[in-house]
Amino acid sequence: MAERREVSDSKQTQPDDRAQAAQCSELSRRRMLHLATKAGTAAIALSSVSTLGGCSSSAQKLIKKKGGALGQPIPADPITYTRTPSPVYRPTYTPPTKTPEIKTTLPLSSIPSFVIARTKWTSATPKRWLADSMTTIRRITIHHDAIMPVPTGSYADSLRRMNLIRRGHLNNGWADIGYHFAIDPSGRIWQARPLELQGAHVKDHNPGNLGIVVFGNYEKMRPTQATLNSVNKMVAYAMQRFNVPLTNVHTHQELRNTACPGRFLQEQMLRTRARGGKLALAVGNQASHS
């Protein structure tokens, strides 16, 4: 789900994870060097420094596999799920060995041919004066809209959902739909807010953040395979076009205290980003986590 707050959080960006890790690693090296030098064993210290691997990180909790088929509603309540702190996603980032096919010359207004252009489904234009502009994309965040029932998958039903979300977000006083893209149960990908406008979907983390919403409530049902395929397709495309590392592909609950995008979509997002997962493979298996 999107969170309230359209503008003015541009200075509250998240510290860069890799920068933080590098800083941490550097401190460790300095401390080792200092201690070793103090003991008069500088030569030993230097060889030790080269073997340091930086700070340790907690292991990624594995999500327990649950039964049931994709796309099938989960049996009725009681829902026993209680929200616990999100599993922390900390893949070990390794730069890709080959340069991805980055289409840096494309303007942000350009969208790929597999996306339904905004102009195809609405003649309305965003209230651009209410949104900050976005010039650089450096992270991607996945959401669900938490609305039940899930659309049938028909074009007409999904079109109604797009307009429903748009009206709701305009009523928040926002420029338009808070997300940049939406994915329906048939796997259609809809353009929502133009990329040149900053999104309104993760409070305090909107600058440079491309927002993708999936129709449905994934606390209560499982995503369809068509949905998951399109999530992978859209995210892989955006990662390569904007040079976003897998470490900067998030779900809403990994950035804020929320159940979004729901336990069943969260589980799939953990799986697809893991080494050997579909998204990781699509972008060259550039990340892994245990």
Task: Give contact residues for Zn ion (rule: CB under 5 A).
Answer: 1, 143, 252, 260
Radius of gyration of the chain (CA): 21
Question: What kind and span of H or E run contains 99?
Answer: none
Identity of the residue, 30 or 167, whose beta carbon is nearer to Zn ion in the bound complex: 167
Identity of the residue, 143 or 273, whose beta carbon is nearer to Zn ion in the bound complex: 143
How far is 44 from 133, CA to CA, in rounded Å?
52
Provide the β-strand partners of residue 141.
211, 250
Shortest spacing between CB 123 and Zn ion, in angstroms: 27
Shortest spacing between CB 1 and Zn ion, in angstroms: 4
Provide the β-strand partners of residue 250.
141
Identity of the residue, 240 or 268, whose beta carbon is nearer to Zn ion in the bound complex: 268
How far is 129 from 152, CA to CA, in rounded Å?
35
User: 3-class SS at 29?
Assistant: helix
Identity of the residue, 230 or 251, whose beta carbon is nearer to Zn ion in the bound complex: 251
Identity of the residue, 208 or 286, whose beta carbon is nearer to Zn ion in the bound complex: 208
Question: What kind and span of H or E run contains 26?
Answer: helix 17-38
Locus of tokens 């409530």: 217
Q: First-to-last CA distance in the chain?
A: 28
Identity of the residue, 2 or 45, whose beta carbon is nearer to Zn ion in the bound complex: 2
Single-letter amino acid, residue 137 = I
The set of residues, in sequence order, having a beta carbon less than 8 Å from that of 209 and lying 6+ positions away, is 137, 138, 139, 140, 141, 198, 199, 201, 202
Shortest spacing between CB 159 and Zn ion, in angstroms: 22
Single-letter amino acid, residue 95 = P
Shortest spacing between CB 46 and Zn ion, in angstroms: 48
Shortest spacing between CB 260 and Zn ion, in angstroms: 3
Shortest spacing between CB 181 and Zn ion, in angstroms: 13
- Residue length, the chain? 290
